[in-house]
Every structure is written in structure tokens, then in C-alpha cells.
Amino acid sequence: MPLTGKERRHLRALGHHLEPVVIVGSSGVTEGVIAAIEQALNDHELIKVKINEGPEGRHEAADRLAEATGSELAQLLGRTALFFKRRKQKSHFEDILKGPHEPRPAPKPAEEAKPRRR
């Protein structure tokens, strides 16, 4: 299920404050790294991964990780990747990523504007 632009943007906002939970070392993408990312995705659904210099570039490593774990790459900024994989049960993101988002309420009409003091 590919993410829409709005969903991707919302996930980037939610993931901004997160710290990387997995670090891909100089060995690159290994089975151990994939297992650690799968476990972290199962626990948190939205995670950051730090991709250090290795045998493959950061874009190739991020794409390979997303494919191997069945997750979506929400963002790749520098050497930090943001991955998302919704749980089948008890997902924290059910309400957030469900269908079209509610429109913001219209601003209330301003009652008579009071003159500003200087």
C-alpha cells in the first residue's frame, strides 16, 4: 500500500523528533540489520534508521531495507531514513492515516475589530 503525499508528509512530521533506533554499519544491509528493523517496526511502526558508509549507497540501502522488511520509506534525509509499517492489530496510526483528513474548521468571523493602541 503506497503512501500518499499527505500521509508521507504527516509521517515525516511525526518522525521529526525520533532518534535512530537501528544503525546500519560498514558491513551494509545484513540479515541481522533486517531482523532488528523488523522488530523495531513491529514495536513502534515508525522508526528512524541511520545508514553509515558501506558497500552500497544510502539510496540503495534504504530501498533494499524497505523491500526486505515490507515497509514504506517515508523519508531519506542525508544518511537518516524514516520507515513506516502499519501493524495489522492495535495500530497507533489507524486514525491518522485513514482516508481523507478532516478539513480545518473555518475561522470565526471577527467581531468588530478593536483599534490597536500604539
> What total number of domains does the chain contain?
1
**Domain span at 51:** 5-96
Q: What is the pTM of this model?
A: 0.76
Quote the CA–CA distance of 57 and 71 in Å, as a whole number. 19
Within a domain: 102 = no
- Output the domain CATH number for residue 56: 3.30.110.60
Within a domain: 84 = yes
Within a domain: 104 = no
Q: Give me the mean pLDDT over the 39-57 stretch.
A: 92
pLDDT tens digits, residue range 91-118?
A: 777 666 555 555 556 666 666 666 777 7
Question: In sequence order, what E strands does the chain have?
Answer: 20-24, 46-51, 72-77, 80-84
